[in-house]
């Protein structure tokens, strides 16, 4: 599906939660050519983001009349909105970019990371493009340059995922539990299965096949779809950590032919959307607190496996609300209007 070239585009943003607010920021920072902007949610209200006031309208099928691009934030308060309203938006002429999980694995809906598979965006025959899971996005951005040169055979990834990946209530729980713990008061989990303050646990999503969680299977299946290869053996352990924003990943990669680590570093450094921080002598490596509010995927600790000439390690960090959600969705929209 190709968008008609225009000087400005009418945009609807569905969801006024954490991801929706980041989408407003990204649209503004990227100077997206907006004609009319509608912010839609379950109920009408007024929100203020970085000093700018936005009127939120109650969502309805008619709200999509005249809209060119509909960005579904997939936030907690809008669950099910994409299933209900995405077909209505398409019917009225909009292209839908959905940040939720509703359409990701449907065969006729492209799953797009612009740095990795931009050509898939024009295959949106249903008028819907899906935004991948946050942990998958930063993983495939780092994998793609290496796969292009060496062909990846196997990936083993352990994630360290921030509380904000579970929504605003989870962030509040992190704050409140931390305060209670430091004050010596009882701490009870609510948004999470376990205590998040001064703790971590390997449980994101529900447990599924082979005792892997749904989040872990997302990383497997979405990586295969984005990279057009089910031959890459992906295995994941996803861990929730007491960090507000920013997912980190320890990634082991095994390729089909021996690796030249200098060539890998050059390929990563030359790839769009990747920022290298790899100066271990001076403690140079990416950490969540340094990447918050940034759009790039940050890579460090790039090193070869001393026991396997085809093996190597990466440390990958990104803001899960930005590149892991809002930024990637806006980049897809930018890709569409460029085409």
Whether 82 and 104 share a structural domain: yes
Cβ proximity of 163 and 144 under 8 Å: no
- Which pLDDT does position 76 carry in this prediction? 41
CATH number at residue 149: 3.30.360.10
Whether 34 and 140 share a structural domain: no
Whether 92 and 190 share a structural domain: no
In a domain, 2, yes or no: no
Structural domain tally of the chain?
2
Q: Is the pLDDT of residue 9 over 60?
A: yes
Q: Per the residue annotation, which of 134, 147, 203, 210 is the catalytic one?
A: 134
Whether 272 and 212 share a structural domain: yes
Could you tell me the residue range of the domain that residue 105 belongs to?
9-131+325-338
In a domain, 266, yes or no: yes
Whether 92 and 165 share a structural domain: no
**Cβ burial 229-259 (10 Å sphere, 16+ → b, else e):** eeebebebbbbbbebebbbbbbbbbbbeeeb
* 283 catalytically annotated: no
Q: Is the pLDDT of residue 303 over 70?
A: yes
- The whole-number average pLDDT for the span 253-261 is 97
In a domain, 68, yes or no: yes
- Which pLDDT does position 125 carry in this prediction? 87
Percentage with pLDDT > 90 across the chain: 92
- Which pLDDT does position 237 carry in this prediction? 98
- The whole-number average pLDDT for the span 144-163 is 98
CA distance 197 to 193: 12
CATH number at residue 69: 3.40.50.720
- Which pLDDT does position 104 carry in this prediction? 95
In a domain, 331, yes or no: yes
Whether 244 and 329 share a structural domain: no
- The whole-number average pLDDT for the span 102-129 is 95
Whether 125 and 151 share a structural domain: no
In a domain, 272, yes or no: yes
Whether 121 and 150 share a structural domain: no
CA distance 267 to 290: 23
Whether 82 and 218 share a structural domain: no
Whether 223 and 114 share a structural domain: no
pLDDT digits (tens, 9 = 90+) for 11-65: 999 999 999 999 999 999 999 999 999 999 999 999 999 999 999 999 999 999 9
**Lowest-pLDDT range, 74-88, 203-217, 224-238?**
74-88
Q: Is the pLDDT of residue 77 over 50?
A: no
* 147 catalytically annotated: no
Q: Per the residue annotation, which of 30, 203, 210, 247 is the catalytic one?
A: 247
For residue 45, list its beta bridge partners.
56
Q: Is the pLDDT of residue 277 over 80?
A: yes
- The whole-number average pLDDT for the span 91-117 is 96
| Average pLDDT over the chain, rounded to an integer | 95
- The whole-number average pLDDT for the span 281-300 is 97
Whether 278 and 175 share a structural domain: yes
Q: How confident is the model at residue 2 (pLDDT cuts 50, 70, 90)?
A: low
Whether 316 and 170 share a structural domain: yes
Q: How confident is the model at residue 1 (pLDDT cuts 50, 70, 90)?
A: low
pTM flag (> 0.85): yes
Instruction: Name the nearest CA neighbour of 303 among 294, 312, 290, 295.
Output: 312
């Amino acid at each position: 599906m190709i968008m008609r070239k225009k000087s400005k585009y009418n945009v609807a943003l569905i969801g006024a939660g954490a991801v929706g607010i980041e989408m407003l920021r990204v649209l503004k920072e990227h100077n997206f050519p907006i004609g009319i902007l509608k912010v839609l949610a379950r109920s009408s209200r007024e929100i203020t983001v970085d000093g700018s006031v936005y009127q939120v309208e109650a969502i309805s099928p008619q709200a999509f009349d005249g809209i060119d691009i509909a960005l579904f934030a997939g936030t907690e308060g809008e669950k099910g909105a994409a299933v209900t309203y995405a077909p209505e938006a398409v019917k009225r002429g909009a292209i839908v970019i959905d940040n939720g999980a509703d359409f990701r694995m449907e065969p006729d809906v492209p799953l797009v990371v612009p740095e990795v598979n931009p050509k898939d965006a024009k295959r949106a025959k249903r008028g819907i493009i899906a935004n991948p899971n946050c942990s998958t996005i930063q993983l495939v951005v780092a994998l793609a340059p290496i796969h292009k040169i060496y062909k990846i055979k196997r990936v083993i990834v352990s994630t360290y995922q921030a509380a904000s990946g579970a929504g605003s209530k989870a962030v509040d729980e992190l704050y409140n539990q931390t305060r209670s713990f430091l004050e010596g008061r009882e701490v009870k989990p609510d948004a999470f299965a376990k205590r998040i303050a001064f703790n971590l646990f390997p449980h994101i999503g529900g447990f599924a096949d082979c005792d892997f969680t749904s989040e872990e299977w997302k990383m497997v299946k979405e990586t295969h779809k984005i990279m057009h290869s089910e031959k890459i053996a992906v295995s994941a352990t996803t861990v929730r950590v007491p960090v507000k924003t920013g997912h980190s990943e320890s990634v082991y990669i095994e390729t089909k032919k021996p690796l030249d680590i200098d060539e890998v570093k050059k390929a990563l450094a030359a790839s769009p959307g990747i920022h290298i921080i790899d100066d271990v002598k001076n403690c140079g490596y990416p950490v969540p607190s340094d990447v918050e509010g940034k759009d790039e995927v940050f890579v460090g600790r790039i090193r070869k496996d001393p026991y396997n000439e085809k093996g190597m390690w990466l440390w990958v960090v990104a803001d899960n609300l930005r590149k892991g959600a809002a930024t990637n969705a806006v980049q897809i929209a930018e890709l569409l209007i460029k085409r």
